Structure formats: structure tokens, C-alpha cells
Amino acid sequence: MDTSLKYQIWVIALVSIFLLVYLVGFKKYTWLFSKVNKGKLIALYRVDGRTFKKWIKYFVPLLSDKFQTKQTLCILEVLLIVQYLGIPNEDNPVLSKGMIVQKGEGTYRSLRESIALNNHLWPIENEAFKKLSVFPPLVCQQLLEVYS
């Protein structure tokens, strides 16, 4: 396909989107352009910044570089993070290794060996398990399903 044709298609698509947003009402879609401070997102999970950066590195690698340099994130980036980490709540909390072992009724050794031997079943790499002491809600849920 010719480069100028691709450019024309993109221009038409963008103009169409902006026209649609304008006709429907721009105020309905302003939330799409809002920004979220990283601190608020970290506070949602109740962990420190270093732990959250490790979570992004191991579980949301698409945003790893952006997350290190940006102070604020757009809504789409926040949604991507929430999709990979889960939302903490009573049914799906942030858990430490000790809490996972306790809920799985095992030992640290059995959990560590199980991750090393059956890495294809786990939602976590062996390196990430060694480096982290606290895990995001979605990963905790998956670890408990396999470990229990």
C-alpha cells in the first residue's frame, strides 16, 4: 500500500473520531484524556514504590520503561496495569509469601520447589518469586489456585 494512501486513511480516521466525539459531546469523553498520579495507584495497592515498580517490571513489561520515567499515567495505562495486577479487595488481597504458604497449608520450601519444578504452570517466573516478598492480587489468586 502506498505511504500517502496510509497517511490519508489515518487522517480520515482521526478526523472521523474527533468529529464523532464532538457531535456526541466532548464532555462525556474527557475522562479518556485525564491523568492519574502514580502515587495514587501505588496507594490503592498499599505497597511501597519499589515493590510496585518490581510488579510492573515482572507482570506488566509493556509499561516497564514508561513507568520508570513518568509521574502520571493515562487512563489506558492504568487500565492495563489493573488488568495484569488485579484490583485489591477482601476476596482478592495483596499477599506476602508467608500468607500464601499459610493459605496453601504448605511450607516455603514446598512452594519454592513447586515453582522451580513446574514453572510452566505458574503465573510467575522463578526470578520474580525470588525478588518479590509481596504479590499483586491477580498473581496471588493464581498462585493459590495452583498451590492449594
DSSP 61-121: GGGHHHHHH-SEEEHHHHHHHHHHH----SSS--EEHHHHHHHHTS-HHHHHHHHHH-TTT
- The answer, as to whether pTM is greater than 0.75, is no
Residue 15 has pLDDT above 70, yes or no: no
Buried b (16+ CB within 10 A) or exposed e, 86-100: bebeeeeebbebeeb
pLDDT of residue 5: 63
pLDDT of residue 61: 82
Phi, psi of 74 (to 5 degrees): -80, 165
- What DSSP string runs through 4-57? HHHHHHHHHHHHHHHHHHHHH-GGGGGGGG-EEEHHHHHHHHT--HHHHHHHHH
More confident call, 148 vs 91: 91
pLDDT of residue 68: 81
Residue 28 has pLDDT above 80, yes or no: no
CA dihedral 101, 107, 111, 117 (to 10 degrees): -170
Question: pLDDT of 66-125, one tens digit each?
Answer: 788 888 888 778 888 888 888 888 888 898 888 888 887 878 788 777 777 766 766 677
Give the pLDDT band of residue 20 (cuts 50, 70, 90): low
Looking at residue 64, its amino acid is S
pLDDT of residue 47: 92
